[in-house]
Homo-oligomer: A and B are copies of this chain.
């Protein structure tokens, strides 16, 4: 049995999230169907993150075990043939026996995209949040600096599955403008449920002038979710990359590209 890992992109608007659930079409189910169609075997796919409905992935990582004589490239090509529109395996390689997409992960990078045009952009409603005003990006950056580092992020977490601790390390948080859009790019060793979307929603309030960097510091210390801003909607969120000790998917590859370029990010 080979342990195989895959780098996967998907349009979150076409799926009910990553995780398999009865009666709803998920990315995990789509991949498992493709594996069944190709091999005749029922194979479980393990993802690094259970992205919610509407949340996109540029670089989700998953692993699965299977028995096949296909080379990595032919396996990827065959699986992409069986996958439906809206999901693609960008890279695929045989992994060390002990590689686990979720438990081996050391960190993740997410991007949250918001348009700030006066009128709702007619294209790509499903790919970006929209706020009908210019935001004070410098104030948002000042507030973002408060969040970088190791903190208890309880104030920015929706009550999801209970965790041992709500302490996480945010390695970096950048705000990158492109025309009348901006991306908030955040890296950390792990994220609580809805943490990126709540940080985005809170920093947008800062950009509007409703909250200050000092308010964000107070909110963080309060560890009280009711203090923070709203959870920004799913359509703006992208899982960009997952970090592992051994840096997988390294070589250049034609099939890898073609995914970025959306809105110039």
Tell me the A residues contacting B by CB distance below 8 Å.
9-11, 56, 80, 85-90, 115-125, 127, 178-181, 254-255, 257-264
Q: Are B179 and A115 in contact (CB under 8 A)?
A: no
Using Cβ atoms and an 8 Å threshold, which residues of chain B touch A119? Answer: 80, 88-90, 255, 258
Q: A257-B117, A257-B180 are in contact. Are A9 and B122 (CB under 8 A)?
A: yes
- When A117-B255, A118-B255 are in contact, do A262 and B11 touch as well, CB less than 8 Å? no
Residues on the B chain within 8 Å of A261, using CB: 178-181, 263-264
CB-based contact B124/A262 at 8 Å: yes
The answer to whether A179 and B124 touch across the interface, beta carbons within 8 angstroms, is: no
Chain B residues with CB below 8 A from A87, complex form: 122
* A123 with B127: CB separation less than 8 A: yes
Give the shortest distance, in Å, between A104 (CB) and chain B (any CB): 24
Nearest opposing residue in chain B for A86, CB measure: B122
Query: Are the C-beta atoms of A122 and B11 separated by less than 8 Å?
Result: yes
**Number of copies of this chain that the complex holds:** 2
**Minimum C-beta distance from A30 to chain B (A):** 11
**Which residue of B has the minimal Cβ distance to A80?**
B119
Give A257 to B56 CA distance when docked, in angstroms. 25
Shortest CB-to-CB span from A79 to chain B, Å, is 10
Q: How far apart are the CA atoms of A87 and B11 in the complex, in Å?
A: 22
What is the chain B residue whose CB lies nearest that of A133?
Answer: B254
Bound state CA distance, A173 and B247, in angstroms?
A: 44
Taking a contact as CB atoms closer than 8 A, the residue among B88, B122, B257 that contacts A120 in the complex is B88
Q: Which of B11, B56, B80, B115 contacts A258 (CB 8 A)?
A: B115
CB distance A121 to B88 under 8 Å? yes
A124 to B261, CA, bound (A): 11
With the chains together, A80 CA to B132 CA distance in Å? 12
